[in-house]
Amino acid sequence: MTRRTLAVVSAGLSQPSSTRLLADQLAGATRDELARRGHEVDVRVVDLREYAHDVVNNMLTGFPPTALREAIDAVTGADGIIAVTPIFSASYNGLFKSFFDVLDAGSLVDRPVLIGATGGTARHSLALEHAVRPMFSYLRAVVVPTAVFAAPEDWSDGTADGALRGRIRRAAGELADQIERRPPTSGPADPFALTTDFLQMLGRGGDTTVS
Ligand SMILES: Cc1cc2nc3c(=O)[nH]c(=O)nc-3n(C[C@H](O)[C@H](O)[C@H](O)COP(=O)(O)O)c2cc1C
């Protein structure tokens, strides 16, 4: 049995939030699927509305306040990420984009990501494919094939209907597959870690002679 970590990012602004509801159901299905395969799962939910002011401060100053730093570390250090946004003007909302904008470059490379969205109309479901998926492709994350969109008619009394439940289950299975293919992460990347040999940084290549 290995311990796996899942970070759930929800950019819903309402309270209660249908985006958060979808995020929780995706997280539950993924946790159940990983548990069925013999993994213990730690789930950390990052509800972005709680960090909205911090995200803007980070954009203005270049530094995350402590609470946001801790949330960023939970996301960049997770074995898998579930990222769910409400659709605003046929795309992700500004808070969702801004959060991923303040992450260090390279911090999501090869990271399995399941994307989801909620909207007022199913006609905008392809925003997941023309906006959300390309953003994570740019960040070089590995986005699972099934993206889950929930329109108002997909819910009855806060419960996903049969078709939505099926999409959630399929996407959760795909995320579990990607997580299982990789060793557990060693935590968030150190932004100050040396990525180049120190001597090479001094322009001295492999020559270790001290003169
Ligand atoms: C400013 C704004 C723009 C919106 N634009 C769209 C849109 O283009 N397409 C759509 O399907 N829904 C749109 N919606 C509806 C939201 O996506 C929908 O209500 C969403 O589920 C809200 O999520 P929440 O309950 O987590 O806040 C918009 C809502 C707002 C407030």
pLDDT tens, 96-148?
Answer: 999 999 999 999 999 999 999 999 999 999 999 999 999 999 999 999 999 99
Query: Cβ(49)–Cβ(95) under 8 Å?
Result: yes
**pLDDT, tens only, 39-84:** 999 999 999 999 999 999 999 999 999 999 999 999 999 999 999 9
Query: Cβ(26)–Cβ(114) under 8 Å?
Result: yes
More confident residue, 190 or 36: 36
Pocket test for ligand 1, best of 18, 19, 26, 88 (most atoms within 8 A of CB): 88
Q: Kindly report the backbone phi and psi dihedral angles of residue 209, in degrees, each rounded to the nearest multiple of 5, phi listed first.
A: -70, 130
Q: In the chain, how long is the greatest CA-to-CA distance?
A: 76
Percentage of residues of the chain with pLDDT beyond 70: 92
pLDDT at 63: 97
pTM above 0.85, yes or no: yes
pLDDT at 100: 98
Rounded distance from Cα 76 to ligand 1 centre (Å): 27
Residue 208 has pLDDT above 60, yes or no: no
Q: Is 121 in the pocket of ligand 1 (CB under 6 A)?
A: yes
| Confidence band of 165 (pLDDT split at 50, 70, 90) | very high
Nearest Cα neighbor of 148 from 122, 116, 195 is 116
Q: Kindly report the backbone phi and psi dihedral angles of residue 112, in degrees, each rounded to the nearest multiple of 5, phi listed first.
A: -65, 130
* Residue identifier of the C-alpha nearest atom 8 of ligand 1: 89
pLDDT at 203: 74
pLDDT at 190: 66
Residue 25 has pLDDT above 70, yes or no: yes
Q: Specify the residue for token string 């040396």.
A: 194
Atom of ligand 1 nearest to the CA of 16: 25
Residue 202 has pLDDT above 80, yes or no: no
Rounded distance from Cα 57 to ligand 1 centre (Å): 25
Provide the token pair at 168: 């959630």
Secondary structure of residue 203 in the 3-state scheme: coil
80-88 vs 40-47, strand pairing mode: unpaired
Alpha helices per DSSP H over 37-143: 52-61, 66-76, 94-101, 127, 133-138
91-92 vs 80-88, strand pairing mode: antiparallel
pLDDT at 192: 66
Q: Kindly report the backbone phi and psi dihedral angles of residue 42, in degrees, each rounded to the nearest multiple of 5, phi listed first.
A: -100, 125
Q: Is 14 in the pocket of ligand 1 (CB under 6 A)?
A: yes
Percentage of residues of the chain with pLDDT beyond 90: 85
pLDDT at 73: 98
Q: Specify the residue for token string 């260090």.
A: 104
Atom of ligand 1 nearest to the CA of 118: 21
Residue 158 has pLDDT above 50, yes or no: yes
3-10 vs 142-143, strand pairing mode: unpaired
Task: Give the angle subtended at the CA of 116 by the CAs of 119 and 64, to the nearest 5°.
Answer: 100
Atom of ligand 1 nearest to the CA of 91: 8
Provide the token pair at 26: 């995706």
Q: Is 153 in the pocket of ligand 1 (CB under 6 A)?
A: no
Cα–Cα distance list, 156 to 18, 142, 146, 151 (Å):
12, 32, 22, 11
Rounded distance from Cα 118 to ligand 1 centre (Å): 7
CA dihedral of residues 44, 49, 53, 58 (deg, nearest 10):
40
Q: How far apart are CA 35 and CA 15, in angstroms?
A: 30
Q: Is 25 in the pocket of ligand 1 (CB under 6 A)?
A: no
Q: Is 152 in the pocket of ligand 1 (CB under 6 A)?
A: no
